[in-house]
A and B are shown apart, each in its own frame.
Chain A
Amino acid sequence: MSGDVSDRARAAESSAARRLPRDIVVGACVLIFCAVAYAITFSFKQAPAALAQNVQPASFPRLVISVIAVLSAGQMILSLRLPEKALKPLPWAVAVSAAVMIAFVIAFDALGIVPAMVLLCFGLPVLWGERRWHLIVPYAILFPAAIYGLFAKILGVHFDPGLFGPW
């Protein structure tokens, strides 16, 4: 058993040794981002010289992008001789929750705020493993109602009626 564990640890170590340091990968991604952002600045319109006073709209963003690129390169160099802690694998609930975040905004647009909130307040606790229905059901009804009442009726925020509106 202990042999198994040490074998696994050795395997993880050797695979980590084979892998590029994480900060190198992150730095490379940042450099690609900088290259794309820099390229986009060429699509900015040129302002007339009298208006721009020698500082074109693209000048400052290019300066900032260059700073980010230099810092990123610096971070890559600094990380070369560094031992790094292994990242814990991403729990499935994180990916699901990120998808729920996006789905909520789509539902907000398509169905309206109240159904979107009810779906989220019911669905997310269930997805996260909650099974106490006597808590889930009242929560999924009362919390959205309270939030809608607070924002729409008291604070005067306008929400599109959505599919089932007006509320």
Chain B
Amino acid sequence: MDSFLTAASLFADPYLIGVVLVGTVAGVLVGAMPGLSSTMATALLLPFTLTMEPIPAIALLSALYCAGTYGGSITAILVNAPGAPPAAATAFDGYPLAQKGRAGQALGIASVSSAIGGIFSVVVLIVAAPLLARIAYDFGPPEYFALALFGLSMLASISGEAPVKNLMGGAFGVLLATIGMDFTTGVDRFTFGFWELSDGVHFIPVMIGLFAGAEFLLQAGRLDRVVVRAAIEAVKLPSWLDFRRCLPTIGRSCGIGAFIGVLPAEGGTVAAMIGYNEAKRWAKDKSKFGHGDIRGIAGPETANNAATGAAMVPTLALGIPGSATTAVILGALLVHGLRPGPHLFNTTPVLLYGIFTAMLLANIIFLGVGLLGAKLFARVTLIPVKFLWPSVFVLACIGSYALQQSLLDVWIMVIAGILGFVLRRYGFSAAPIIMGLILGELVENSLKQSLIIFDHNWLRFLDRPIVVTLLLLTILSVGAPIFRRIRARRRATAET
């Protein structure tokens, strides 16, 4: 409680409030811009935070994360092009409602349900993270190995389309993490004579390349796309009738978002899709869904924002990212010399409560900013892409360089960007590679330490109940999406 009050008192400082405000406005802006996601924006912004103190730095990124998730709804509703992947489901009903001349109502319900989801998720974070950290406090290397493996296995369900490819991406990320000097023996691996690689491949240039560089190339292929914006009147607060109609959906989506968010590797996109499906499934009259039902906006918007704070739970308590953006925030913590995990709650509680406070503040600010400025933020879609994307690429290069002031990092970013584009074209996602890269060191070290503890007897992993539980969950999370996919295909083949 003392730590929370200390952290809250920090936010009496106008500088910190300013940082959160900047992060929130920037988040709404990038979220609203099709192609620019909060993940990419946090990766691009990370180098800017290097000279900042840890609390404002992480507060800035956390605020951007929360607001970016909401910002995507603006263009999903007005342009039918979700600014960020978590807002994809919002477009299903948001855009038809905007086409009916009720964009203000759609944006109003999106703002309010996003804020409710976001605030609920921060409460979940405040309650669940210390509890989880307390449980994880007694974890040894075998438990951490099983946990990291479980985190990686959850990548299988990030996208129902390509579970095996996601796992391959995760494993590739782990392989990338082995580049450089071996921690225990001091032997160089995959360095090819470049001494700069002895310290390993820094995840920030890889992250910037995979998210921003690949998106730059993707956008280069869509230069002829014309954005048609629905007309917008003033944003309206939802009427009591609308709110009451959406309340059960909002309540359900809060639970869905928080649950999905807490699971390692899952994030707002999955939560929003499930939130939408559940809103539709529970509705008595389903016929209006897809044609502008406000519950079709409230469901996904609450769920994707409820996943934001929840995704920070495993990130902070265990050091296992809950989503792609929290993987970047985890990276930022590492860059600032902080190792997420249970010990963080003992050593720097003020920082953690500072993050909680920043996220809470960001959710409140974006509600106000969204209601008052959605009309203005919608204008970001007017920025010509032929100027926007060269700017993003320049920022990506300078950001990668600024980290260690090394040109090698810029090369790594460019190679990661081109590779990321090729991989996306062939059905792979960037997020699993980043997860693998971040978790790689933990997987290798905990496995080595476990093998030493168990005297190289692999069967002794099964002596530990937590490890067995996590391994069973791993098998389930790998098997279920693959099994589901095979079954769906069989059904499709039978139908044809």
Contacts and interface: CB of A to CB of B under 8 A. Distances in A.
Given A72-B168, A157-B401, A105 B410 contact: yes
B347 interface: no
A81 B485 CA distance: 13
Chain B contact-residue range equals 35 or more
A112 to B, nearest CB: 12
Interface string A117-155: 100110011001110000100010001100100010001
A16 interface: no
Contacts of A71: 164, 167-168, 171
A97 B217 contact: yes
A23 B162 CA distance: 11
Contact of B220 (A68, A94, A121): A94
Interface string A14-36: 00000000110010001000000
B411 A157 contact: no
Contacts of B186: 47, 51
A167 to B, nearest CB: 14
A163 interface: no
Contact of B175 (A54, A68, A87, A130): A68
B175 A37 contact: yes
Contacts of A60: 178, 444, 447-448
Interface string A39-50: 011001101000
Contacts of A41: 189
B402 A55 contact: no
Contact of B221 (A53, A67, A91): A91
Given A60-B178, A128-B386, A157-B405, A68 B217 contact: no
Dominant secondary structure at the A interface: helix
A157 B411 CA distance: 18
Q: How large is the interface on A (under 10, 10 to 19, 20 to 34, 35 or more residues)?
A: 35 or more
Interface string A71-115: 110110010011000010011011011100110110011000100
B282 interface: no
Which one of A22, A113, A128, A159 has the highest number of Cβ atoms from chain B below 10 Å of its Cβ? A128
A64 interface: yes
Interface in B161-208: 164-165, 167-168, 171-172, 174-175, 178, 182, 184-190
Interface stretch (B325-333, B354-362, B413-421): B413-421
A125 B221 contact: no
Contact of A130 (B164, B386, B398): B386
Contact of A125 (B164, B387, B414): B387
B452 A53 contact: yes
Nearest to A68: B171
Contacts of B182: 47, 57
Contact of A93 (B223, B391, B395): B223
A145 to B, nearest CB: 12
A130 B389 CA distance: 13
B405 A58 contact: no
B397 A104 contact: yes
B189 A81 contact: no
Contacts of A155: 48, 50-51, 402
Contacts of B165: 75
A55 B451 contact: yes
A61 interface: yes
B398 A151 contact: yes
Contacts of A151: 398, 402
Given A101-B213, A105-B410, A121-B390, A158 B405 contact: yes
B164 A74 contact: yes
B168 A75 contact: yes
Contact of A128 (B217, B218, B223, B398): B223
A87 B221 CA distance: 13
B391 to A, nearest CB: 6
B178 A135 contact: no
A65 B178 CA distance: 11
A108 B407 CA distance: 8
A30 B397 CA distance: 28
Interface string B430-463: 0000000000000010011001100010000000
B378 to A, nearest CB: 21
Given A51-B184, A155-B51, A40 B386 contact: no
B451 to A, nearest CB: 6
A47 B184 CA distance: 9
Contacts of B168: 30, 68, 71-72, 75
A156 interface: yes
Given A124-B386, A124-B390, A130-B384, 14 more contacts: A26-B427, A57-B189, A61-B175, A91-B220, A91-B221, A97-B217, A98-B421, A105-B411, A113-B398, A117-B394, A120-B394, A135-B387, A143-B391, A156-B51
5 contacts: A97-B216, A124-B386, A130-B384, A155-B50, A158-B405
